[in-house]
Each structure stands twice: as C-alpha cells, then as structure tokens.
Copies of this chain bind each other. A is one copy, B any other.
C-alpha cells in the first residue's frame, strides 16, 4: 500500500534515502520516522492422508473459485509452523501435524515469500469461512488447471515428486505474473 501519511504523528511523508541508506523510503517530514516496507510471509502446508491431498476452493478474492493448499499471511506472535497449522484450521477446519519445510517461493511482484510444509491430516475437515469447498484429492485428480496460485502448483508438484523423501527445500522465484524461474545463485549485481 502506498504510504502518504506518517502512522506515528499523522504528518505527510516524503520519498528520500535516509542517511546511510541507498534506497528511497517514506520518511516523515515532521518527526523523521522512516517507514520501511518489506516482503510479507505467507505460510501454508500440504495436508496428506493415505496418499490423498487436502485442497480448498477459495470463497474469496483473489482467485475466487480456484483451488489452493491451505495458506495465508503469517501473524505476529506465532512461528511459521504454527501459522501454517492455524491457516489450515481456519480454511479447512482441519487439524494437522506439521512436518518439514519443503518449499520456498519468492513472489517478487506481490512482495511475498511463500513457505510450505508437509503435513499429516489428523481428523475431519470442512469448509471454513474463506472456502467454498474442501476436498481430499487422489494425486491424478488434482485440478492443475484450476489452481489459484503458481506458488501452490510448484509446491504441490514438488511434494508429489518427493514422494515422502526429504530432498531439502525446493526454491522458486516468480518475478511477475507471467514469468517464473528456478532460484538462482544469489550472486550480487545480477
């Protein structure tokens, strides 16, 4: 969101590089507070039971009516695994035992980092407020053409390829809505 006013004192902000900084930030013209904007963390999981995978059909925008793994913005006061479990409880009314972090997707154009865990579905499930439908899919039935987000599709494919093996964290970078690339070497100045 574009910052126009200082959230600390209510005065106008101006774009400028603070002392010792190379980037322009929103700086308050009255009290001088610097308002940093940083990427946000989305945490989710792939709940699995007997080889089937739990997905949710979205009841909210963006991507109303499309399918997604349970995932959402991480909250203050929780760790990433707790966040993934909480989102699953909210969206699918399902308790899960979170496993290991297996996928990390930078969604640059959205300013988001998506982190996905493996998970065991423990009990029942039902649509939460943000879901139209929640369903266990056999792998060949997964609706790839009706998936809400490419970060989700990437994680789901890697989860299936791993087939229970620990192959570390699969990384992906989605630069804009149309392009995706393998996570690079992270050399500076690229």
Contact = CB atoms under 8 A, between A and B. Distances in A.
A171 interface: yes
Contacts of A79: 106, 108, 173, 183-184, 186
Interface residues of A, number: 63
**Residue with the highest number of chain B CB atoms closer than 10 Å, among A3, A74, A185:** A185
A33 B5 CA distance: 13
The count of identical subunits is 2
Interface in A68-118: 73-82, 84-86, 88-89, 95-98, 100-101, 104, 106, 108, 111, 113, 117
A169 interface: yes
A109 to B, nearest CB: 9
Contact of A185 (B13, B39, B98, B169): B98
A85 B7 contact: no
Majority-rule SS of A interface residues: loop
A160 interface: no
A9 B7 CA distance: 10
Contact of A106 (B10, B35, B80, B129): B80
A78 B5 contact: no
Contacts of A63: none
Interface of A: 1-10, 12-13, 20, 23, 33, 35-41, 73-82, 84-86, 88-89, 95-98, 100-101, 104, 106, 108, 111, 113, 117, 119, 129, 166, 168-169, 171, 173, 183-188, 190
